[in-house]
Structure 1
Amino acid sequence: MPHSDIDELLPPPPPWRVFSEAPGGGADDDLPATPEDHRARTYRPDRNVVELVNAALYLRRPILVTGKPGVGKSTLARSIAYELDLGPLLHWPVNSRSTLAEGLYRYDAIGRLQEANLRDAPGTAEDDRTADIGRYVRLGPLGTALLPRSKPRVLLIDELDKGDLDLPNDLLDVFEEGSYTVPELARLPDEQHEVEVFTDDHGPRTTIRRGRVSCDAFPIVVITNNGERRFPPAFLRRCVRVDIQPHDNRALAQIVRTQLGDEAAAAAEPVIERFMAKRSRDDIATDQLLNAVYFAMSGALGEAGGQAAAEGADAHTRERLLDALLRGINSMDPA
């Protein structure tokens, strides 16, 4: 028989899985709250990370962040945007097909050609025949970050080591010059020297003059790296390198306390010990620990928060579920 009362059976979602339509209270109050907003507000980097990030801000240099999966590399960028009130994060997830041009802008030549054919059709009003090339240009995350502003934007270039071998070197000129050209706009006649284009953050269209974009404040660029390959020395020396180490027991307890409160932190000690033991053999992300602690606190495991086993699961099931939630990222063993 179908169950129609799932909203009554399930506990509230964990804070990092709340998709609210209420304002997020972050850098832009018009944006809805997201799990990323929550992570940014509760992120607690160690002192060494803070000092290196501050050095990069002073020097206006990109931050190359290395660390194991789940230590908070991407969250560091979101935390910087939140703490410094620099607006929504610009995010460029890199894959094996990513190119510098994709990060800077996208030009929809096919869409423009199709509309040109429609404009030339018989019966089209003269006012409708005027082409607006800016409607077919959208700046990418990097291109948007380099727009001239009094305050820098925060750009996350995520997992650069997954990209093409030439991509780090391609980024060097842009990082050094703080500018780029959109050739399709630079070729326009003088009477079209100003063109309004779309941006990556879907805000109002912005004006580009003679196809050239130059930043006023160099963006805060956070580049994450999972260590899958080495970068060229010329690229490395232009970045401030930050290596985020896995959290120790004390830091993990503080993370649980920040995310779930004092009661959860007190009940989480055995789960943290199990997490540390498993992490010594395989990579496990911190959010897996949070999932396990929250699951236990919810009563589903019948282990924490004074829940009786009869309300949740028997001891064997509890152990099996905890093992599954704390399964190593590289583990091939069945859950």
Structure 2
Amino acid sequence: MNPGSDTPPEWRVYHGTGWPSGSPPSLPKAPPWREFDGEGVAELPEDDHGEFDRRLGKAKGHRVPHRNEISMVNAALYLRRPLLVTGRPGTGKSSLAYQIARELGLGPVLRWPITSRTTLRDGLYGYDAIGRVQDAGTSTGRDGQSGAAPDIGNYVHLGPLGTALLPFERPRVLLIDELDKSDIDLPNDLLNVFEEGEYEIPELIRIAKRAPEVRVLTADRDGSAVISGGVVCCRCFPVVIITSNGERDFPPAFLRRCLNLRIEPPTAQQLGAMVAAQFGATDKVDIARLITEFTERSDELGGLASDQLLNAVHLATELATSGAYQTDEEWQELLKAIWHPLSEGAP
């Protein structure tokens, strides 16, 4: 605390607004054991192709942070540790990654959606060996014989995790979405990558003597990066947001390396802020009444997703614009269809 002041010094760089406030803020220094020495410089894409506005809305000043969100995100930034975000479906877990990226100016979010068949290799990189062989067979030299093999870099494509570990000057935001759907081995497979901040591409290591630097494709739209010696090592550990709907437990070793944030269902105030961010001010529809009906229906069914409310507001707004909006029996039936239960056991 500052001498003679009751106000503690500000330590947070993320404030939960989801909007930048001037130039991107300086990030806290990493702990010595979380410092990495990746060589080279990867270029940060500036254009998110409208993803932030689509995910979060265009209006400023309407966002209400979740409880404990601000402190836990800042702790993850200071410690350079993944943030495991849990909660039931539709509570805004995935949106948190986009809020952090937009507010801190960390570029487009790298999203890695997980299924039961996802492997660590899928997140790191892919190599299209068959495509390269086929292209080599169709190329010919000046003598009419088969030409040189095509550039291998055109057939190596870094995944979201692999791209996030490139040597960026500022960390990228990586969203690992619904990790609880993964094969049982994937959380443990991630441990070494999280600890070391690097990985190898064997296909490039094998040719490193004759091709020490290879430009490959990345997970960014039209993106590419130069890989030296077949090894990718980060300079700034990425901001990793891992979401889980609680469908399974994770190994203790994995949990020890993560910080945990539990997101509860949004309050009426948060729902109102979310609607305002997407639609702005409107007097065509009684938004407060819709939010009340939504929360009551959500409690009755054991939980609804926030985007189900947005669907109802959008439909009501469109109907009101054409003069067809009536809170009659037909509208109530539409609401039942839009606000359908998320679990089979719900009434």
Q: TM-score of the superposition, structure 2-length normalised?
A: 0.78
Deviations 1:128-173 (A, max 9, x none): 4254211111111100000011101111111111111000000000
Deviations 1:161-198 (A, max 9, x none): 11110000000000000000001111115121111111
Matched-pair contact (CA < 8 Å) for 1:62–1:238: yes
Indicate the larger mover: 113-122 or 312-321. Answer: 113-122
* d(CA) in 2 for partners of 1:227, 1:35: 26
Q: How does 1:118-267 map to 2 (within 5 A)?
A: 118-119=138-139, 123-124=143-144, 128-263=147-282, 267=286
Corresponding position of 2:23: none
Corresponding position of 1:325: 338
The change in CA–CA distance for 1:31 and 1:59 in structure 2 (over 3 A counts) is closer
Matched-pair contact (CA < 8 Å) for 2:110–2:164: yes
Q: Please report how far the alpha carbon of residue 223 of structure 1 lies from its aligned counterpart in structure 2 after TM superposition.
A: 0.7
Supply the AA of the counterpart residue of 1:182.
I
Q: Secondary structure at the match of 2:247?
A: coil
In structure 1, runs of 5+ residues without a counterpart are: 1-26
Deviations 1:270-318 (A, max 9, x none): 222221121113221111112222322333599xxxx5xxx44572112
Q: Please report how far the alpha carbon of residue 38 of structure 1 lies from its aligned counterpart in structure 2 after TM superposition.
A: 4.7
Supply the AA of the counterpart residue of 1:33.
G
Q: Please report how far the alpha carbon of residue 78 of structure 1 lies from its aligned counterpart in structure 2 after TM superposition.
A: 1.0
Matched-pair contact (CA < 8 Å) for 2:169–2:236: yes
The change in CA–CA distance for 1:158 and 1:81 in structure 2 (over 3 A counts) is same
* d(CA) in 2 for partners of 1:285, 1:244: 13
Instruction: Tell me: higher relative CO, structure 1 or 2? Use CA pairs within 8 A at least 6 residues apart.
Output: 2
The change in CA–CA distance for 1:167 and 1:333 in structure 2 (over 3 A counts) is closer
From 43, 49, 73, the counterpart of 1:32 = 49
Q: TM-score of the superposition, structure 1-length normalised?
A: 0.81
* d(CA) in 1 for partners of 2:270, 2:196: 40
Matched-pair contact (CA < 8 Å) for 2:284–2:317: no
Matched-pair contact (CA < 8 Å) for 1:134–1:197: yes
Corresponding position of 1:70: 90
The change in CA–CA distance for 1:117 and 1:255 in structure 2 (over 3 A counts) is closer
Deviations 1:236-288 (A, max 9, x none): 11011111110122322232233323445982222222211211132211111
Q: Please report how far the alpha carbon of residue 221 of structure 1 lies from its aligned counterpart in structure 2 after TM superposition.
A: 0.7
* d(CA) in 2 for partners of 1:239, 1:264: 44
* d(CA) in 1 for partners of 2:283, 2:201: 53
Matched-pair contact (CA < 8 Å) for 2:216–2:227: yes
Corresponding position of 2:308: 288
* d(CA) in 1 for partners of 2:164, 2:255: 21
* d(CA) in 2 for partners of 1:179, 1:52: 25
Q: Please report how far the alpha carbon of residue 326 of structure 1 lies from its aligned counterpart in structure 2 after TM superposition.
A: 2.0
* d(CA) in 2 for partners of 1:108, 1:129: 17
Q: Secondary structure at the match of 2:319?
A: coil
The change in CA–CA distance for 1:35 and 1:205 in structure 2 (over 3 A counts) is closer
* d(CA) in 2 for partners of 1:252, 1:314: 21
The change in CA–CA distance for 1:261 and 1:171 in structure 2 (over 3 A counts) is same
* d(CA) in 2 for partners of 1:70, 1:46: 13
Matched-pair contact (CA < 8 Å) for 2:136–2:149: no
Larger helix fraction of residues: 1
Q: Please report how far the alpha carbon of residue 220 of structure 1 lies from its aligned counterpart in structure 2 after TM superposition.
A: 0.6
- Root-mean-square deviation (CA), in Å? 2.8
The percentage of counterpart residues that share the same residue type is 48
Matched-pair contact (CA < 8 Å) for 1:60–1:220: yes
Q: Please report how far the alpha carbon of residue 224 of structure 1 lies from its aligned counterpart in structure 2 after TM superposition.
A: 0.8
Matched-pair contact (CA < 8 Å) for 2:58–2:277: no
In structure 2, runs of 5+ residues without a counterpart are: 1-43
* d(CA) in 1 for partners of 2:244, 2:224: 32
